[in-house]
Amino acid sequence: MRGDGGLGALEERLAHAFADRSLLVAALTHASARFRGRGETYERLEFLGDRVLGLVIADMLVARFGEASEGELARRLARLVSGEACAEAGRAMGLEHHIRAAGTTLKDGGRAAAGILADACEAVIGAAYRDGGLEAARAIVERYWREALESMQGPLRDAKTELQEWAHRRNLETPRYQEVGRSGPDHAPEFVVEVVIAGAEGAQAKGRSKREAEQEAAETVLRREGVWKE
C-alpha cells in the first residue's frame, strides 16, 4: 500500500484530488477509531454531505423527470438518498478499504457495517463540498448515482398508499404507524416503526427517518401478502 494509505487511488475513483486531504481522512474516520476520544470523525461531514446529496439529487431529478409530480419526485429522492443507496455507492467507491474503525466494526457484514459505509459515503460528499465547493461534490454524486437515477423507469409506487388500498379492499381499518424504537446519534438517528393493521398481521422496519421506516414496514406487508412480487 502506498504511503498515503491508498487515498490517492480513492481520489482517482472519486475524480477529485483533495487540496486539504485531512478532510478526506476525517470523512473516513469512525468514532470508534478516535484515540482517547480525540480527533475528527466523519459525523459533522456526514451531516453536511447528507444535505448536499439531497440537493444535488433533487436537481438531477427535476432535470431528468420534467413531467413528474412533486410527490413522484419525493419518492424517487427518498429511494436515491436512502441508507441502502448510499451504502451501494460507498461500495462502488471502495470505501470499505479505507474506513478507519476499531475492531470488527466493519467486518460483521450486517446492518451496522452497511450503516457505517452509508455514513462515510455521505461524509466523503461533504468533504468534497468543503474542499472544492458544490461542483466538486456534484461531480461525485453524478458519477455514482447517475446510473441508478436513469434506471428508475416509470412511476414509483408508494408502499403506504398501496397498503392502505389493500386494507380497504379487505374491509380492514386504515393501517397505523407507530415509532417503537430509536437509536444512533441525534444527527443520524435510526428509527424502528411498526405498522398496525386491525384484523391482519403488521410488520416492523428500520429507517434513517420515520418516513423511510414507515415505507419499509408497509412494503414488508405488501411483499408478505403477495401484493408486491418483484
Active site residues: 50, 122
Q: Which three cell numbers stand for residue 29?
A: 474516520
Cβ 173 vs Cβ 199: under 8 Å: yes
Rounded Cα gap, residues 179 and 175, in angstroms: 14
Rounded Cα gap, residues 141 and 148, in angstroms: 11
Q: Which three cell numbers stand for residue 195?
A: 405498522
The residue type at 160: K
DSSP state of 154: S
C-alpha closest to that of 120 among 182, 183, 36, 46: 46
Cβ 212 vs Cβ 229: under 8 Å: no
CB atoms within 10 A of CB 219: 21
